[in-house]
Amino acid sequence: MQFSPPAPPLFANLDNFVLFAQEEVTIEKDVQISSGNIGSNDKIDIEKDVIINGNLFADKITIDKNTTVNGNASFNKLKLHKEAQILGTQTKPVQLPIANLPEIPDFKVGTQDFKFVGSNNTLVAGNYRNIILEKDSRLTLTGGIYNIRKLELKENSTLIFSAVATLNIQSKLKGQKRASILPGQNLKPTDLVINYLGIRPKNEKEEKEDDDDEINSLHDDKEKKEYKDRKSGRPIVFGKNSLLNFKLLAPKAAVHIGESTILRGQIAAKKVKIGKGTIVSRKEGFIQENVFEEAILEEDGSRFFVNELILNLKDEATFLDAQNIADQIDGRIVGFIKTTNVYQIEVLVNTPEELETKIQFIRQLNNPLIEGVFRNYIFNIS
């Protein structure tokens, strides 16, 4: 009997993908994919009111109403809502698999546990057991290879990589709401590589986690059995309003990104789910696309968005500097242009007067890193 070798993948690597899954990519409503392709060896499911600036590759693709794909789609089966559109070329059939997920090399974790509080914390490369960033804390990684059993970011905590770094994580990766993972100056989002197994060693005693019920609820019956049989890893979960920069590989685990998050870099996993209102970008720069009709019209005919401002920082300022300023006005970074170090910040206001109050507050900070702050007049940022 002759056996045919498996077909080679359509793509030899994942370089151009912002999201890729072995089984399924799910994109909830109001998500914006600013740049990068999306791929799955099985399914891509896109909900309503999504904007995708990239190409789609999957065996089966489902696209709900009012969603626009500014790119091509390659598939074997397509379910396209009559009020959705693919602006590029549609190709059928598509060769499978689309791509293969890389394997994670073996690594050994250490025995030290650390809980970080406050903002003046650093950690050198090495082998560790459990790393926890407590609420409102900040930790800077100095670069190199970190082998860790568990990494957990509590609410409003920040992890900064000041040099190129790799995190090999064995059993758990979790971020609560408003968690941030940020690059230092002159670093790219993908200068932090996270390799995640999600499976504890056979000889390690199982430890109860405070979010076990939450994690269990994310599994269907098949996944519960796979997790018990050590064929599937513990899901990675990040809460809402997070700010994430990394290249994440989790071939045996699902990744759940909370709503209204900013993600720059790449996720390749068993499954990927992107929460509603999130902005995802393969490139360093990204822009939140707004509805023209929602802009305020002034007497001179100019238009601006009443809930956004533009923050222009000096070249030496970092993403963390921009976030610190945004935090002081309860704002959220929703756009960034690297060449000019300009940030698009969304604020919770409803009138031009309230927006002006936010702008004046920033000006009165007299922060030497700020070159200017002003309304987001249409087309100014791009």
**Contact indicator for 196, 272 with CB cutoff of 8 Å:** no
Between 220 and 71, name the one with better pLDDT: 71
Closest CA relative to residue 150, chosen from 116, 107, 106, 109: 109
The DSSP bridge partners found for residue 156 are: none
**Residue 227: pLDDT over 80:** no
Token duo for residue 125: 């490369």
- Cβ-contact 79, 95 below 8 angstroms: no
pLDDT of residue 27: 98
Q: What is the DSSP string of 15-42?
A: TTEEEEEEEEEEE-TT-EEEE-EEEESS
Q: pLDDT at position 302, please?
A: 65
Of 18-22, 181-185, 196-200, 274-278, give the lowest mean pLDDT range: 196-200
Most confident of 214-218, 247-251, 303-307: 247-251
In this structure, how many other beta carbons lie within 10 angstroms of the beta carbon of residue 115?
Answer: 12
Residue 69 has pLDDT above 80, yes or no: yes
Name the residue ranges covered by the structural domains of the chain.
17-91, 114-281, 292-377
Q: What is the pLDDT of residue 377?
A: 80
- CATH number among 3.90.470.10, 3.30.70.80, 3.40.50.970, 3.30.565.10, domain 292-377: 3.30.70.80
The pLDDT of 94-116, averaged and rounded, is 95
Quick check: 191 and 183 in contact, CB under 8 A?
A: yes
- Residue pLDDT, tens place only, 8-33: 999 999 999 999 999 999 999 999 99
Mean pLDDT across the chain: 92
Mean pLDDT over 350-356 rounds to 90
Of 212-216, 257-261, 293-297, 359-363, which gets the smallest average pLDDT?
293-297
Residue 245: beta bridge partners? 264
Distances (CA, A) of 23 to 19, 59, 320: 12, 10, 34
Average pLDDT on 96-111 reads 95
Which tokens hold the place of 57? Answer: 């590759």
Q: Residue 229 gets which letter from DSSP?
A: T
pTM score of the predicted model: 0.93
Q: With bands split at pLDDT 50, 70 and 90, how would you rate the model's confidence at 380? A: very low
| For residue 147, pLDDT beyond 60 | yes
> Token pair of 334, please?
């929703």
Amino acid letter, residue 126: G
Q: Is the pLDDT of residue 79 over 80?
A: yes
CA dihedral 364, 370, 373, 379 (to 10 degrees): 180
Asked if 143 and 167 touch (Cβ cutoff 8 Å), the reply is no
Q: Would you state the pLDDT for residue 300?
A: 59
Q: Whose CA is closest to 342, among 305, 366, 365, 308?
A: 308
Q: Comparing C-alpha atoms, which of 153, 137, 239, 134 is closest to residue 194?
A: 153
Which residue reads 């009709």 in tokens?
293
Tell me how crowded residue 216 is: count the other CB atoms within 10 A of its CB: 12
